[in-house]
Amino acid sequence: MKLLVAVDENAYSRYAVQQSARLAENTWSEVVMLGVEKNRSYFNEDELEQNQAHPKLTMLDRYRTDFLQAMKSDDGLYGTSSDKNFRAKGNKVLEKDASGRKHLFLHLRSGDPVKEVRNESREEESDLVIIGCGHHEGGWGRGSDVPGKIADSVDCSVFVIRENFVPAKIVCCLDHSNISQESLELINQWVSLYGAELEIVGVLKKGELREDLEAKMTEVLDYYLGHGIRALVRVVDEDSLESFIESGAKNELMALWLHQRSPLQKLLHSSKVASLVNHASSSIMIVR
Amino acid sequence: MDMLKALVPVEMTLASNVALRYLCQKAEMLGIGLQPIHVEEPDHKPHSSETGWIRKSWESGLKQAGLEEVQRILQNERLECFVMPNPIVRVGSREEEILSELRLGGHDLFVEGEVANFNTNEFRKRLRSKLYRQMPCPALIVRNMIYSNHIAITLDEKTDMNHLADTFCHLFADKKIDLDICAYAMDDLNQSPHPEELLSEAKEIMTKRGFKPLKTFSLLGSPESAAKSLHDYGMLVVNINRKSNRKSPLTEVLGLASNPILFCW
């Protein structure tokens, strides 16, 4: 699995890094940690030390230390030496290779955070973007809705994780039956990491649960019960879905299975996904 | 004591699948055998309104298809409990056919699955249906596969505790049960009788019948928070007045709960 952990300088990013480390350790993921700085043309980079010209490089180094410290075992999965420098990768990215047996790269890009996270996830072919978020506001700059926009615009799965979030329950909403094995396993990972309860929620269309969706819910339930995971099932009316997601508690993770043809995708298009992510109390995972 | 008979609709649905598995897992605790029933509901196409030989052969075709479906489902589930060898297959209205079988077949329990809805209207509709109002035996609604064998009798001031205890003892006679008793109220101010009084009466009744509860507790607060507090129980046992159309806080709790619910009416 390829993880992209997008970070800024707020405390929630540190928390997101620590949680990413737990997932990475369990799944042996390849990891890229990405910082994004503003475009600046008013000074000459060559006249300054690298860390002075790009202060966020220090931030990335600090998060790398947090990442390694959050791992329970120290078996060289990722590199522990920090003596390498950042080098230019093309003309857009500054990169430090901190790999061990698995890849760990620190990347710094400049520009708009939403575009740069999207570009990075495409170029690195990430499977999951993890991004920290504060409670009751978007974070990533005053009045910004960056996490929501990222959740809406990238092609892969996105986990918007709120600070100090320890899930007691993972609530998975599905309205279509094209669910990949990878996404099931991704949910499985989070359930196991946190020892959380799982609830599978089917979305009713005009009061009915479609036959293929019902069959998929049975399959998903079988999968989790077979893994010894306590899984509950429930349904929600399409009309109440938005308020249902918003009502998620701080200790819940709301996971939404979206794909291009999904009615959920239509129901929660663009601004709605962004708004849900930014205003929900719970952490949210968009599973694609 | 003889094995009790539980009538269970077997259908190709998630709800039926969950109910079958739960029931099988609890078969020993309940001391029951499963009697599958399957009702083929005719559509409104012309062939179903024919009479005589045409109708008879059309109905027997439907029955045969129904029987094959039940057998396929039971085979796929590989249930490890006692399932009566001859599934009952009927053609007609699901509600009417099940009700008639419950009246004539001498079943001790009716069990069916239901996928809980966040909108509790569906649950209220079910309780108000002819089937639920008129069935002659207790009913178990299974919403989830919960492995715990811990049971909570959940009552409010309208619970007929003696009737609940009679039905409970018929089903669980001679079984060793981990039982708690819980009295629900939105708040304990101006409650008459007070939840503590309800609990002490209920404890006395159950203890006299040989089911001493491990714990009794009052549960106060909104139906949402009460439903969450009960979520670890493998079964909630209740007695509600099925003749009444009024919404009660306890039925709201039951509507929101994820647990299987045994109605002792």
B40's enclosing H/E stretch is strand B32-40
β-pairing, B151-155 with B179-185?
parallel
Length of chain A: 288
How far apart, in whole angstroms, are the C-alpha atoms of residue A10 and residue A87?
A: 25
DSSP assignment of A53-115, as one string?
A: H-THHHHHHHHHHHHHHT-S--SSSB-----PPPEEETTTEEEEE-BSSS-EEEEEEES-HHH
Helix A11-27 vs helix A181-194: angle between axes, to the nearest 10 degrees?
A: 110
Q: Is B115 in Cβ contact with A209 (below 8 Å)?
A: yes
Between the CA of residue A251 and those of A47, A104, A166, A241, what are the distances in Å?
A: 48, 29, 6, 19
CA distance B118 to B120: 6
Query: Which residue in A173, A199, A211, A218 has the most chain B C-beta atoms within 10 A of its own C-beta, making it the best mutation to test that interface?
Result: A218
Backbone angles phi, psi at B103, to 5 degrees: -70, -40
Enumerate the β-bridge partners of residue B5. B33
- Dihedral-angle region of residue A213 (phi above 0 means left; psi in -120 to 50 means alpha; beta otherwise): alpha
Whether the link from the prior residue into B213 is cis, omega within 30° of 0, is: no
A105 closest CA partner among A21, A4, A27: A4
Between chains, do A235 and B115 touch, taking CB under 8 Å as contact? Answer: yes
**Nearest residue on chain B to A168, alpha-carbon basis:** B228
Q: Which residues pair with B153 in a beta bridge?
A: B181, B237
* pLDDT of chain A, 288 residues: tens digit per residue: 999 999 999 899 999 999 999 999 989 999 999 999 887 766 666 677 777 778 899 999 999 999 999 988 767 889 887 777 888 888 789 999 999 899 999 999 999 999 999 999 999 999 999 999 876 555 676 556 788 888 888 888 999 998 888 888 999 988 877 777 888 888 888 888 888 889 999 989 888 888 888 988 998 898 888 888 889 999 999 888 888 888 888 888 998 887 666 666 666 665 677 777 777 788 888 888
| Per-residue pLDDT tens digits for B163-173 | 999 999 999 98
Burial class (CB in 10 A: 0-12, 13-18, 19+), B60: exposed
Beta bridge partners of A33: A5, A106
CB contact under 8 A, A225 and B144: no
